[in-house]
A and B are shown apart, each in its own frame.
Chain A
Amino acid sequence: MEQHVLTPNGQTCLQKLLKVWFEFDLALSKVGIIKRLEQGKLSQADYQKLLLNLRQQVIEGSRWITRCASSFDRDHSDIRSSVIHHAKDEHKDYLMLERDYVSAGGHLEDIQTAEKNIGSEALHGFLMYRASQPNPTDLIGAMWIVEGLGNKMAAKWASLVDEQFGVEPSMTTFMKYHGENDEHHLEELYQLIDRVATNEHVIAKIEKTAKVVARLYSLQLEEVDNV
């Protein structure tokens, strides 16, 4: 396998991020709705609920990433370019998600008018706050969690949903598309890690932000019924 991250500091950072990811992966498997999904016990109503709650994060996701891009000064313009590119790629993904929601038997109006649950509020509040700080390099940690999740959705969740409900038109185009794209995004992320993880202090901040985002992301899925 290719060596993605080359600098010693980048390697340390990647190792820490991978550890946070594994812990997040385990925590996620314990969240009610994900547990039902992974154990083949998801109802169609559950799947609708999952999409409805994911939509908030997808819409807000492109917002905090663009905010994050605008917070990088001229010394970090290369990072800004990369982040803008990332945001542009994803800022309309939610349309795909809405189509899947309708395929799963939901009403478009319901998903478009849904309120954020309390976990989503906390997640977006934190991300927008961090993205508004000058040169928010620690958000690499947030991107790591979100991109990793995209990968998991495509690889595991989409096939589980297909297996369980396997209907036409597909109900999992968003998850699959997100996963395919995220592979490319992960490559960009590796380069960013090399670029910003230059000392222990930055690495610690990236790790912490990854941990906070992982926890709040789980919370968003724990609170699917709590608006």
Chain B
Amino acid sequence: MEVYITSTGNHLPGPAINNDQIEKVLGLINGKPSRLKHKILQSNGIKTRHYAINEQHQTTISNSAMASLAGNECIENSSVAKNTIQMLSCATSQGDLVLPGFGSMVQAELDLSGVELHSSHGICSSSMMALKAAFTSIKAGCNNNALVIASELSSRLFKHTRYEALEQQEVDFNAEFLRWMLSDGAGALMLEDTPATSGTSLRIDWVKSYSHADVYPTCMSVGTPKQAGGKTWQDYPTYGDAEKDGALLLRQDVRLLDNIINVGVQGYLKVLDEQQLSANSIDHVLCHYSSKYFKSKIFELLNMANCMIPEDRWYTNLYERGNTGCASIFIMLDEFLKTQTYKAGDTIFCMVPESGRFNCAYMHLTVVEK
């Protein structure tokens, strides 16, 4: 059984926010402009992004509603009638509710009936895991189609008031780092067991991921304070105490971050080997790197290994749409299909190296025209 991506959609909330406007939306921590902001933005290269909160810190659209808008756009672009969707597979790093699963909330927003449901929980690669669940379900003949949606609303974590809630400590670099990296958005893909009746489809040749949680400590997390010692947000007497101790801030252990380059390239070499693939045979690369800094490091290693895919085949919309975590790869694929040139038979290689606890996902697609 073959599986095809027959339609895509996205939703980016509100207007594009440029670098000078970020602190107007997220606010100044203790009334002072950030000293790190410029340095981090220069390194990641992001020029504009979107937020689902306004300057008053009100949420303008929920995570599940964003997911639903992207899903609806994807359905409208497809020839699948809403009432014939058999599976819904959703991913996010943080739903609107702690429980139930994100997929349930998105299903209700979309008003889909009787679907088989899957929620994928994790950071950037959770979208690829949601996609893999849908892909294997169709492949196994359990479903004929599946709607896959990834959505992120991380800006709620970055309000200045969250940092100001800290008691007896300064905001550390690791807690502030991602404030200048992440933003909001949703992307959706329709998967079917036959190509679309007209236009372009993408055949999913394979999806493969390698996780290295056994090797490295946690690199990106919410739920543990700066000096963790095994303590999590649920181990405090009250949630208020957890917040005062900084256990609810989104943190990135930047010293561990460089490991993502090695494991990302290692996985790439492994899939080249396992899938009998050569770098020359790849026509387009969509890689979810979080910053320009990583792009150059990845290129350096690929050049060294002599398996670099020429730079003009790499596509990204990171600098204009921002880093939307797990939604990035879907938003990127959607915009690639709508704005770039490609032809039947072209191959597309997608790569999502995740720094959460070092999970790297890869996907190979072939353009099919009808």
**Cβ-defined contact, A29 with B216, below 8 A:** yes
**Cβ-defined contact, B269 with A18, below 8 A:** yes
**Cβ-defined contact, B266 with A15, below 8 A:** no
* Contact for A23 among B266, B304, B305, B307, CB less than 8 A: B266
- List, in ascending order, chain B residues with CB within 8 A of A39's CB: 217
**Cβ-defined contact, A22 with B269, below 8 A:** yes
**Cβ-defined contact, A1 with B300, below 8 A:** yes
- List, in ascending order, chain A residues with CB within 8 A of B215's CB: 26, 29-30
Q: How many A-B residue pairs have CB under 8 A?
A: 41
**Cβ-defined contact, B303 with A3, below 8 A:** yes
Q: A5 to B308, alpha carbons, bound, how many Å?
A: 14
Give B307's nearest chain A residue, CB to CB. Answer: A15
Q: List 12 A-B contacts (CB under 8 A).
A: A1-B304, A11-B306, A14-B305, A14-B306, A15-B305, A18-B269, A18-B305, A19-B273, A22-B262, A22-B263, A25-B262, A29-B215
Give A26's nearest chain B residue, CB to CB. Answer: B215
Q: A75 to B236, alpha carbons, bound, how many Å?
A: 72
Q: A147 to B214, alpha carbons, bound, how many Å?
A: 26
**Cβ-defined contact, A4 with B304, below 8 A:** yes
> What's the dominant secondary structure at chain B's contact region?
helix
- List, in ascending order, chain A residues with CB within 8 A of B263's CB: 22, 26
> What's the dominant secondary structure at chain A's contact region?
helix
Total A residues in contact with B, Cβ cutoff 8 Å = 16
Q: B231 at interface (Cβ–Cβ under 8 A)?
A: no
Give A6's nearest chain B residue, CB to CB. Answer: B306
Spell out A's residues near B (CB within 8 Å): 1, 3-5, 11, 14-15, 18-19, 22-23, 25-26, 29-30, 39
Q: A218 to B263, alpha carbons, bound, how many Å?
A: 18
Q: A37 to B217, alpha carbons, bound, how many Å?
A: 13
Give A12's nearest chain B residue, CB to CB. Answer: B306
**Cβ-defined contact, A19 with B270, below 8 A:** yes
Spell out B's residues near A (CB within 8 Å): 212, 214-217, 262-263, 265-266, 269-270, 273, 299-301, 303-307
Q: Which 3 A-B pairs have the closest CB atoms?
A: A22-B266, A11-B306, A18-B305
- List, in ascending order, chain A residues with CB within 8 A of B273's CB: 19
- List, in ascending order, chain A residues with CB within 8 A of B300's CB: 1
- List, in ascending order, chain B residues with CB within 8 A of A14's CB: 304-306
- List, in ascending order, chain B residues with CB within 8 A of A26's CB: 212, 215, 263, 266
Q: A14 to B266, alpha carbons, bound, how many Å?
A: 13
Q: A25 to B264, alpha carbons, bound, how many Å?
A: 13
Q: A25 to B216, alpha carbons, bound, how many Å?
A: 11
**Cβ-defined contact, A18 with B304, below 8 A:** yes
